[in-house]
Amino acid sequence: RSLSSRASVPRVSMPDPFPVASPPLSEAKRHRTSTRGASPPLEAMSISRAARMAGNEPQQMSALEAERRHYRPCVPAVLRVRVRAEPAQERTTCVSHEDLIASAFPTLYGSPVVSLVPADETDTSVAPRPLRVGCVLSGGTPAAGGHNCICGLFDHLEAFHPGSTLLGFRGGLRGVLRNSFTKLEAATVERHRNSGGFFMIGSGGDLIETEEELALAVRIARNNSLDGLVIIGGSASNANACLLAERFAAEGLAARVVGVPKSVDGHLKSEQVELPVGFDSASKLYSELVGNVMTDCTSSRKYYHFVRLMGRDASHLALEVALRTRPNLVLLGEEAAQQSRTIAGLVGEVADLVAERAAAGMEYGVVLVSEGLVDFLPEVRNLLRELDGALAERDAQDSNSYEGLSDDWLSSALSPPAFAAFSLLPEGSQTALLEERDAHGRVQVAKLESERLLGELVELELERRAAAGSYQGRFSVQHHFFGFEGRCPPPSNFDATYSHALGLAAGGLVSAGASGVLATLRGLTGPPEEWAPRGVPLTSLLAAERRRGRDVPLIHKAAVDLEGAPFRTLVSRRGGWRLARSFASPGPVQFDGPLADEISVCLRLERGEEVPEAAVAPLAAARLAAPPSLPSLLEGDAALAVVAGAVPHAAADELFVAQQLPTTAGQPRLEIVSGRLAFRHATPLPLLGEAPLVIGVVFCGRQCPGAHNVAVGLTHFLQRRGGEGAKLLGFLDGTRGLFGGRAVELGADEVAPYLNGGGMDLLGRSADVIRTAEHYELAEATCRRCGLSGLVLVGGPVSNSDTALLAEHFKQRGVPTRVIGVPATIDGDLYCNSIEASIGFDTATRVYASLVGNLATDAASARKHWYFIRMMGRTPSHLTLGCANLTQPNIALVGEELEARRMTLCDIVGELADAVEARASEGKHFGVVLIPEGLIEYVPQVNALLSEISAALKYRQRMGDTSTDRYKVYTAILPLLTPPSAALLASLPPYIRRQLMLERQASDDKAQLSQIETERLLAELVRVELRKRRAAATATAEWAAPDARFAPVCFYLGYQARSSMPSTFDANLGYALGHAAGALVGAGATAYMASAHCLTSPPSEWRLCGVPLFSLMSADRRAGVAVAVIRPAQVSLASPTFRRWSAVRERLVMADLYCNPGPMQLSGPLAAGPSPGRVQAEHAERGRDVAEAQAICREVSAACWPGCSGDVLRTALASLRALREHLDVLEERDQAAMTNPVGSSHRRITQVTHEQMLRRDN
């Protein structure tokens, strides 16, 4: 069902502007029309983009946005010619409340469905005269495809009504009332083709309801001589379109009103409306995120993930995502309502699932919850109905109706059952229900965190069962809400094609004289050329709904049909998911390749198709058939050699590091080369001895895309070069499996299903901790018992620090196992000149940047929210900085810079408030702020507080205080803090206090940064600061203070990416480093890290090396003990990556130059190479420069042969001696810079011995 080609369907003859199909992205350059002008090849675009990143100019659009502009959707055959409206014979009725609807719409009610059919050449009713048509993007929820609706409308007018004018009313329907519009020219339309969001003209949730507003709309339509008005929106917006059509007809206006169905959550559907615009893109994005969370779940095997999906009024998204991903339990509101479920009943059902899985040895799982679940429960629905009415009545009496609401008022305003249900909710949920309501006067159920509510209540229920002896498991829960991320992604191929065709249909309906109809297409599961355009009377979709205390006509919201094929399919399959150990991970939306044109599973089932449950998601299956690329030296069976190079210095504290690692410090760098190309002046170390290699692999660090390919690379290396009988042993559950000797043999068949797969679920992981003497002894015993030639540990800085210390222990004890580290961390903090990239960072940057781009697009579309987005990444800010350069938010906080500027929390909040006020002064009440996960560690007073809390918690542990009661913990540690820290802790919100006092991480004994909601804290502090400023301005009569309306929405981007399918770059990198690790073991090397260089070149040109682990290490403390470690690399404020951001950020505060990199592409031209971020900016020329330098060295060596002239020899010697001196000076400078860094309050890097460090610490 390709949306970009239809060879079996005859081409309909018609000139511009509709090509029958869009070519694949890889062939797009050959198919671009001459009117668009020649575009540079993708390689040139990447180079120019890299040049901009090095300069002072922000990007105008991402590579994907630029490429998607050239995609031309298929066009239904009937819409390629002039059309007329052919009415059906039958009159229509409404969904319900016929008397109310018929009386409200006397002119339109009963109108028949009209079909668009080719018009005769003699039909004068559709003569090609110029038209003036207005369009509106309406509703509070933007959706992917809205822009293409406008593009289709524009294309229809250009093709069949030359000289027409298309007016885009700005900001939704309020733009109509304000007569605020922009004339949409071809250049504007072209710039927004196939892009997400509604930012072309903006959107809004305002409606035209009162008599005064309707009269004003009539006057504006008449004054603008409108022939038509196209409203692209959801149920409320299209009900408003019906109201306008009725009024325009009654007033005798020529303007025809046509609606276009838009709904992210899919509730705007019926027998006549197969699917709304935006649902396909949103469901695919949510499926990707849920699949990533599921892979993360099966990798760590320690959490239950409760995931809430957007969809207040219907559970279509949850149903679609469940069918794609197969969660252990899915809770749909419609089913709960049918069964009259209660909150207690749902809690019991989830607790039963947890108990069943615990009995089967699985203390992890995924529960999918529809957003409106609690809204469907009879007891909660009754509560919300009463609360709506009570707050509406209070609105009429008191403008400050949301302030000062007491229990007494609530108990008197609500019935006893409703008040009892309200009292059952946690405090945060109660507050959410009483906050400001949405544009339609409803309580904002989206703020009622049903996933958190369920998680808390299930935890209490399991504690009760444990006390009663009926449950013995462990329950830890993580909560997620996926909503705003899916509203404005780049539209999928289906949505791009569908929305463009709807725009064409809307234009055809206007030109054919139809009014009060909704543009629809039938046959969506068939070829787009065969889609049949229709106009469905809006009155036929109407029912009455209670709004602000009265019944009003609205489009009926279609709930999930519990008798329909999609739900029946779910019921037939979900029993097998309940105790499943694995899930389905659909991966990111693709725009190129055979899977780019996938259609909604629910839609196919509704249309009678069979959709079998595949064992593996289609994209994952395709990735299994796409072997990664290798450096050319590893291709074939040519002999390999490992060549020794120079001996590097330690990163810092060289004397201390040498004392800690007496047998492994001072090793040379190694490079893996072809045996026949080994340098003549170096002695190659032979690969392999007599015995076959037996290598063990352990996933130590946090989940990381591409880690599986390390295991696959090791397996394939051993098959080809490990000797007869070589084998790979994988240790289960990370370091726990290593200590316990629990291993499985990994052959080609075992690793094949995990090729190019995300997460670490092949083996699982636990904690990256190899610390104590007992750990060393257990690891040694396992290696000896298994006869391991080598042990490969995969992880980040902490894991590779353990690798170095374990290798030292083995060498001192004479253990024959060689220990090799592989850099794998999404945080990007295992980075230096020796390590150009770690596995996973590229993927994480791409996935997070895609989500940030979606949110930024949403902010620019709705223009009413400030998005505070916290990025995973532990202490360093690499991910935040990388995403900032790719997406260009208004503000990105870089922790390392804040520390260098010695900024306090008040300083940060003040600068954020300044930005909010500055944008508000230009009418921009929206923006995007990126916040690194480790931000609070860079704020001096908060960092001091964290250190004191850690010390206090250890003291409590030593004293035998094991209480987990949050209040008792708080009261116990408060007296142990210094007065400034105690005052700071007491001043923080309760939820932040609880998060700061959580148990410390085992890996680094630090606070659990991922659990500290820094974004929420900053948003609340900014809100308080703005209130203070407004109060001060009022007190001093400074009425010019800007009206800084501030509506923050907070996000944490963490689990969405760390177990994603790896990017092509990370898949290649992991596979290559797996081979490199095997080669290092075969060469007898130990205490090395496998690394790859020249990574901006094609993989065939990559160079594989072994970096001595001691060269990455310096002194630090672990649990108060001095030890050599690899410190996480901080963002360098002198790096090209930071300089690029620093050069553009001042402009970005006020400008809205957001870029959306779009979903990660795994095929086509956008899949190759690293993302245009750190590697491109800082290593773009390294491969070329290294090759040139080595070539010059070989030329000099060849020229200085024994028979050369004395002048040649003396000139060469003088130049080389000078060069050596210069290099020595540079190396000494670099060493001094690393030993004495500028401005680092919480890092200690000094040249000390072990004894000196202990004396200083005491």
Active-site annotation, residues: 265
- Decide: 383 and 414 in contact? Cβ < 8 Å: yes
Three-state helix/strand/coil letters over 64-102: HHHHHCCCCCCCCHHHHCCEEEEECCCCCCCCCCHHHHH
Other beta carbons within 10 angstroms of residue 347's beta carbon come to 20
Cα–Cα distance measured from residue 667 to residue 187, given in angstroms and rounded to the nearest whole number: 61
Question: Residue 961 has what DSSP assignment?
Answer: -
- Write b or e for each residue in 1223-1247: b if 16 or more Cβ atoms lie within 10 A of its Cβ, otherwise e: eeeeeeeebeebbeeeeeeeebbeb
1213: burial class by Cβ within 10 Å (0-12, 13-18, 19+)?
A: exposed
Q: Which long-range contacts link 630-633 to residues 24+ away (Cβ below 8 Å)?
A: 630/1068, 630/1071, 630/1072, 630/1075, 630/1099, 630/1100, 631/1072, 631/1092, 631/1099, 631/1100, 631/1101, 631/1102, 631/1103, 631/1104, 632/1100, 632/1101, 633/672, 633/673, 633/674, 633/677, 633/1104
Cα–Cα distance measured from residue 1145 to residue 884, given in angstroms and rounded to the nearest whole number: 9
**Going by C-beta distance under 8 Å and a sequence separation of 6 or more, which residues neighbour residue 1152?**
199, 860, 890, 924
Three-state helix/strand/coil letters over 283-347: HHHHHHHHHHHHHHHHHHCCCEEEEEECCCCCCHHHHHHHHHHCCCEEECHHHHHHCCCCHHHHH
Cα–Cα distance measured from residue 385 to residue 578, given in angstroms and rounded to the nearest whole number: 34
CA atoms within 13 A on the CB side of 599: 22
- Decide: 1170 and 1096 in contact? Cβ < 8 Å: yes
Chain CA centroid to CA 761, Å: 20
Cα–Cα distance measured from residue 943 to residue 937, given in angstroms and rounded to the nearest whole number: 5
Cα–Cα distance measured from residue 366 to residue 369, given in angstroms and rounded to the nearest whole number: 10
Coil/strand/helix, residue 230 = strand
Cα–Cα distance measured from residue 241 to residue 235, given in angstroms and rounded to the nearest whole number: 10
Which of 755, 597, 630, 622 lies closest to 1163, judged by CA? Answer: 622
Cis peptide before 17 (omega within 30 of 0): yes
Q: Which long-range contacts link 545-550 to residues 24+ away (Cβ below 8 Å)?
A: 546/385, 546/388, 547/440, 547/441, 547/442, 548/388, 548/392, 548/441, 549/388, 549/389, 549/392, 549/393
Cα–Cα distance measured from residue 961 to residue 963, given in angstroms and rounded to the nearest whole number: 6
Positions of E strands within 488-639: 517-522, 532-537, 542-547, 550-555
Is residue 606 within a helix (H) or strand (E), and if so which, with residue range? Answer: helix 601-606
Cα–Cα distance measured from residue 320 to residue 370, given in angstroms and rounded to the nearest whole number: 11
* Helix residue ranges, H only, 901-959: 905-920, 940-958
Q: How many helices (H) and strands (E) does the chain have?
A: 44, 31
Which amino acid makes up residue 1191? A
Three-state helix/strand/coil letters over 193-213: CCCCCCCCCCCECCCCCCHHH
Place of tokens 């330098």: 1189
Q: How far is CA 221 from CA 143, 182, 207, 247, 947, in A?
A: 26, 15, 16, 11, 65
